[in-house]
């Protein structure tokens, strides 16, 4: 899936990242083409973030402009997942209702259906707002974001068996020895708890409270930012958050879009999960750094700088394996998930233009070109 009037900042085997206003970029997509739009917009915060947050008064209408287009672009069984942090009203310890207003407006006015309300608990979140929590000790710290899952229709595609969680120790014991552990009985609620509960389904059904610490290391992304002295994106969500919804609401080969992609956490998870993806971001510096997420752990400083500079210059970086002769992975017949290795083969060109990746046959490619091949590499990074 490519946009006709815009050139991507970078492309991989599974996706493309575009720099620009999401409204203009969304308008270019074919109607009913996207399976999942998953995003975390700038929140309606009182304290300005460096990329500019929206004010609370016009927030719902501002976000609704994007949502109207999202609705047109989604397939009939598509989903729209929006992560929104909570906020306080100006000058008083009173919560803003903006995130709830978004949910009500999207359903009542735009015709979305609230498939389920999720709550993302981030135990590592720092106490805030400082005034009400730390200084005056009037409020508890706010460590839960609302994550609204909207369906375009009442029946968005979903399969909870793809996101089962580990059984509790108690459940594991029950599964080991159902007779010794458990006597079927009626609960006070009237629910009849029979032996059917002792069936091993491969994991427990997850709840709508997602406990994910936002403290993951983002290894290669942070290393790339450090190498080129780029600022890390200040509001990244943890990969586990998009991972949950991508596995839950899409199948391999489906198209996932993040309209406010920032450091492109969503695209990198989609790539790993064998989903097609598109990422929109209005700030070129964020987009240029986000390309690091698609590099292998063994990438070197020269590769980071080259890709970053190329994107900042407004030229395109092409990370598709096929361009360099490496075969594209084929979809498994049973449609199940398969691991995808990072598509950084662009860094593996020899001087004669053959790919070292094919010769070295390493599962994760490394940057091993010779010094004199700089011109060759430079040409190869750019799209024609």
Ligand X SMILES: C[S@@+](CC[C@H](N)C(=O)[O-])C[C@H]1O[C@@H](n2cnc3c(N)ncnc32)[C@H](O)[C@@H]1O
Strand partners, 211: 121
Has 123 been annotated as catalytic? no
Q: Which two tokens stand for residue 231?
A: 């600022």
What mask of x and - would describe binding to ligand X in positions 233 to 272, judged by CB under 6 A? x-xxx----------------------x-xx-x-------
Nearer to ligand X, 244 or 280 (CB): 280
Shortest Å, Cβ 380 to ligand X: 28
Q: In terms of CB distance, is 314 or 353 closer to ligand X? A: 314
Nearer to ligand X, 96 or 265 (CB): 265
Site residues for ligand X, window 271-330 (CB under 6 A)?
Answer: 280-283, 286
139 φ, ψ (degrees, to nearest 5): -135, 155
Sign of the alpha-carbon torsion through 215, 218, 219, 222: negative
Whole-angstrom distance, CA of residue 140 vs CA of residue 138: 7
Q: In whole angstroms, how close is the CB of 22 to ligand X at the nearest point?
A: 4
Minimum CB distance to ligand X, residue 259 (Å): 6
Residue 41: active-site member: yes
Tokens describing residue 42: 């700038």
Catalytic residue status for 40: yes
21 binds ligand X (CB under 6 A): yes
Give the chain's end-to-end CA distance (angstroms, integer). Answer: 18
Q: Which of 79, 83, 254, 258 is catalytic?
A: 83
CB of 86 to ligand X, least distance (A): 14
Could you give the CA distance from residue 206 to residue 285 in angstroms, rounded to a whole number?
A: 37
Tell me how far the alpha carbon of residue 46 is from its chain's centroid. 25
Stretch in the footprint of ligand X (CB under 6 A) among 38-46, 120-128, 141-149, 224-232: 38-46
Bridge partners, 74 (sequence order): 34
Residue 34: its H or E element: strand 34-39
Please report how close the Cβ of residue 214 comes to ligand X at its closest, in angstroms: 10
Burial (0-12, 13-18, 19+ Cβ within 10 Å), 289: buried
Measured at CB, which residue is nearest to ligand X? 262
| Catalytic residue from among 8, 40, 238, 261 | 40
Contact 13, 320 (CB under 8 A): yes
Preceding amide of 129 cis, omega within 30: yes
Between 25 and 299, CB nearer to ligand X: 25
Min dist. Cβ of residue 209 to ligand X (A) = 20
The size of the interface with ligand X (CB under 6 A), counted in residues, is 19
Q: Whose Cβ is closer to ligand X: residue 112's or residue 280's?
A: 280
Q: Which residue, 262 or 342, has its beta carbon nearer to ligand X?
A: 262
CA-nearest of 149, 159, 147 to 249 is: 159
CA-nearest of 78, 6, 71, 4 to 280 is 6
Task: Just list the catalytic residues.
Answer: 40-41, 83
**Binding interface with ligand X (CB under 6 A):** 21-22, 40-42, 51, 233, 235-237, 260, 262-263, 265, 280-283, 286
């Amino acid at each position: 899936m490519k946009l006709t009037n815009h050139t991507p900042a970078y492309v991989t085997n599974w996706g493309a990242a575009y720099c620009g206003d999401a409204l203009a970029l969304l308008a270019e997509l074919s109607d009913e083409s996207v399976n999942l739009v998953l995003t975390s917009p700038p929140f309606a915060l009182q304290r300005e973030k460096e990329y500019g947050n929206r004010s609370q008064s016009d927030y719902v209408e501002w976000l609704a402009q994007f949502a109207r287009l999202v609705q047109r672009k989604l397939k009939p069984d598509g989903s729209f997942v929006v992560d929104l942090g909570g906020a306080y009203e100006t000058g008083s310890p009173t919560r803003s209702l903006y995130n709830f207003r978004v949910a009500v407006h999207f359903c009542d006015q735009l015709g979305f259906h609230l498939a389920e309300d999720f709550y993302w608990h981030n135990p590592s979140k720092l106490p805030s707002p400082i005034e009400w929590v730390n200084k005056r000790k009037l409020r508890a710290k706010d460590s839960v974001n609302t994550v609204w899952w909207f369906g375009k229709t009442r029946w968005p595609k979903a399969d909870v068996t793809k996101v089962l969680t580990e059984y509790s120790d108690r459940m594991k014991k029950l599964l080991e020895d159902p007779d010794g552990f458990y006597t079927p009985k009626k609960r006070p609620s009237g629910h009849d708890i029979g032996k059917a509960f002792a069936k091993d389904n491969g994991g427990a059904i997850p709840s709508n409270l997602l406990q994910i610490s936002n403290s993951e290391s983002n290894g290669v992304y942070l290393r790339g930012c450090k190498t080129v002295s780029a600022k890390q994106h200040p509001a990244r969500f943890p990969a586990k958050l998009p991972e949950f919804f991508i596995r839950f609401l899409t199948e391999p080969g489906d198209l996932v879009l993040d309209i406010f992609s920032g450091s492109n956490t969503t695209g990198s998870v989609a790539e790993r999960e064998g989903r097609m993806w598109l990422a929109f971001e209005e700030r070129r510096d964020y987009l240029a750094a986000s390309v690091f997420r698609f590099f292998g752990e063994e990438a070197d400083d020269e590769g980071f700088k080259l890709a970053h500079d190329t994107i900042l210059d407004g030229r395109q970086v092409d990370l598709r394996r096929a361009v360099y002769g490496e075969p594209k992975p084929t979809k498994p017949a049973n449609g199940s998930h398969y691991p995808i290795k990072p598509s950084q083969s662009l860094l593996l060109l020899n001087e004669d233009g053959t790919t070292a990746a094919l010769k070295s046959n390493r599962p994760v490619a490394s940057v091993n070109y010779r010094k004199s091949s700089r011109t060759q590499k430079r040409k190869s990074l750019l799209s024609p």
